Amino acid sequence: MLPSSQIIYNYIKCRKFNRFTRHTSSNFKLYFLKLILFLFLLLALHSVAMMYFEKLAFSDALWLSLTTITTVGYGDFSATTFGGRLSTTILMYTLGISLLGILVAEYIEFRLNKLELKFSGQWRWHKMHDHILIINTPDHDTEEYLNKLITEIRATPHIGELPIQILTRKYQEKLPKSIAQLGVVHYTGLAQDNDNLNAVNTSTAKYIIVLANESSNPVSDSATYDVLSRIKDIGTKALILAEATTDKNRPRLRSMGASVIVRPVRAYPELLIRAMIAPGTEEVLENMFQYNNDHMARFDVKFKNLKWKDIVNSFMASNSGLPIAYINETGVNVNPLPDTTCSGTGLISLIKDSQQISNAQVKKCLEA
C-alpha cells in the first residue's frame, strides 16, 4: 500500500497534465458536476452551522449562506458567535467563495475551448442529421467556388434551409468569414479516413457531395472511389453526388453508390445543384456541351405574333428539333409560357447531330 505522501504526490502530478485535457475529455461533465455537488455541500454545512450556532431558521440560514458565498453581503443576517464566525471563515471565505470562482472560471474556459474547437474544425456535431455533407474542396480558388456553390444551395427551395457541413483539410484554423456567414460548419480531416467520415455524421446525411480535388487530374477519381467505398462500408441513405474527371471512371464510381455523377465544372456550380435536386438532368445538361450529341442551333428567321406552343408544335411536326428560346430586341427569351405571343428575329432549338436543318426549312415550318 502506498504511503499517504506518495498518494498526494501522484495526485498533484496527475493534476499537472489533466488540467490541459479535462475540457476536451468526456469526463468534464462529471468533473463539473462534482464541483457543483461540493459547492452545495458547503452551503448545506454552513446553513446547518448557522442554525446550530446562530439559532437561525433554515430559510434565514440558507439566505445567509447564499449572500455570503456570492459576496453580496446584504447585512440583514451575520454570524455573531465564535462558532458561527469560525464556520463562515472556513466553509465560506476559505472554501466556498474560492470554489464558486473556480466553477465560473471552469465554465468560461470550457465554453471558450468549445468555441475554439468549432472554429478550427475539431468539434463533432453529434446531433446533426438530414444535412448536406460536402466532402473535399477544390485545390484552386476554393473560397470563390464554395461561395458560389453554397449560395446556390441556400437559394434553392427544399434544400436551402438544410444544415451544411464540409469535410476538408483546407481550413485548419477557421472557415473564411464569407463562407461561415452562410451557415456552414466544417470538420478538419482527411476524407480517406473512416473516423473522419463518422465524425461528420455520414450515415445520417441527406445529401453527400464528393468533390474532385483537381478538376483536370484523373488521379482525383481514385481518391473519390476510395471515399465512396468507405461511405458504402459505413452505410448511408443519402443521395450521393460525385464528380468524375474521366468518363470511363463513371461505372466504377456508380458501383460504389454514387447516384449522380457529373463532370467538375467549377465556373457553374449551379449545374451540380440542379443534378442533386433532379437526378438525371446532369446527363441532359452535359450532353448539350458535346457537339457530336444533342446540341443547340440558332436559326435567324423573322416571325410575328405567334403563340409559343404553336411554334413548338410546328417545329416538332416538321422534325426541326425542339425550340428552347426565341430572340427579339430585348434579348434571348428562354422557355416562355405556352400561351406567350412571340415576335422575333431568331429561334434557338435543340437538335440531333444527324439533323441538317436550314433557315429556309425553319421559315417554311413557321409559315405552315
Tracing cell 449562506 back to the chain, one arrives at 65
Query: Closest by alpha carbon to 146, among 266, 307, 7?
Result: 266
Query: What's the whole-number mean pLDDT along residues 304-328?
Result: 92
Instruction: Give CA–CA dist 104/111, Å, rounded.
Output: 11
Q: How much is the average pLDDT of 328-355?
A: 91
Q: Is the pLDDT of residue 265 over 90?
A: no
Burial of residue 47 (CB within 10 Å: 0-12, 13-18, 19+) is: buried
Helix (H) or strand (E) holding 91: none
Q: What is the structure's pLDDT at 271? A: 84
CA torsion 192-196-202-207 (nearest 10°) is -70
pLDDT tens-digit map of 93-128 = 999 999 999 999 888 888 888 888 888 888 888 889
Residue pLDDT, tens place only, 162-185: 999 999 998 888 889 999 999 999
CB 133 within 8 A of CB 204: no
pTM score over 0.85: no
Neighbours of 168 (CB within 10 A): 23
Can you tell me the distance from the alpha carbon of 79 to that of 72, in angstroms, rounded to the nearest whole number?
A: 15
Q: Which residue has the cell 450556532?
A: 53
Q: Which domains does the chain have, with CATH numbers?
A: 14-119 (1.10.287.70), 132-288 (3.40.50.720), 295-367 (3.30.70)
Which residues, in sequence order, are CB contacts of 143 under 8 Å at separation 6+? Answer: 176, 178, 179
Residues in the chain: 368
Integer Cα distance of 144 and 23 in angstroms: 35
Taking Cα atoms as reference points, which of 297, 311, 306 lies closest to residue 365?
311
The b/e string for 56-92 (b: 16+ C-beta within 10 A; e otherwise) is beeebbbbbbebbbeeeeeeebebeeeebeebbeebb
Mean pLDDT of 37-43: 94
d(CA 278, CA 270): 12
In this predicted structure, what is the pLDDT of residue 11? 45
CA distances from 4 to 1, 18, 68, 72, 227 (A): 9, 21, 34, 39, 54
3-state DSSP call for residue 367?
helix
Instruction: Look at residue 12 and tell me whether its pLDDT is greater than 70.
Output: no
Q: Which has the higher per-residue pLDDT, 59 or 291?
A: 59
Three-state DSSP state, 212:
coil
Between 242-256, 273-287, 317-331, the lowest mean confidence (pLDDT) is in: 273-287
Per-residue pLDDT band at 8 (split at 50, 70, 90): very low
Helix (H) or strand (E) holding 332: strand 331-334
User: Which of helix, strand or coil describes residue 344?
Assistant: strand
353 pLDDT more than 80 = no
Tell me what pLDDT residue 106 has: 87
Q: What is the pLDDT of residues 180-222, one digit of tens each?
A: 999 999 999 999 999 999 999 999 999 999 999 888 888 899 9
In angstroms, the CA 304 to CA 355 distance is: 26
Distances (CA, A) of 196 to 166, 167, 168, 239, 240: 11, 8, 10, 19, 17
What pLDDT score was predicted for residue 120? 82
In this prediction, residue 214 carries a pLDDT of 87
> Which pLDDT score is estimated for 355?
81
- Dihedral of the CA atoms 190, 196, 200, 205 (nearest 10)? 90
pLDDT of residue 139: 86
Question: Which residue carries 449560395 as its cell?
Answer: 151
What are the residues whose beta carbons fall under 8 Å from the beta carbon of 118, sequence distance 6 or more?
185
For the cut 60, the answer to whether the pLDDT of residue 27 exceeds it is yes
**C-alpha to C-alpha distance for 88 and 58, rounded to whole angstroms:** 16
d(CA 279, CA 240): 10
Check if the beta carbon of residue 32 is closer than 8 Å to that of residue 107.
yes
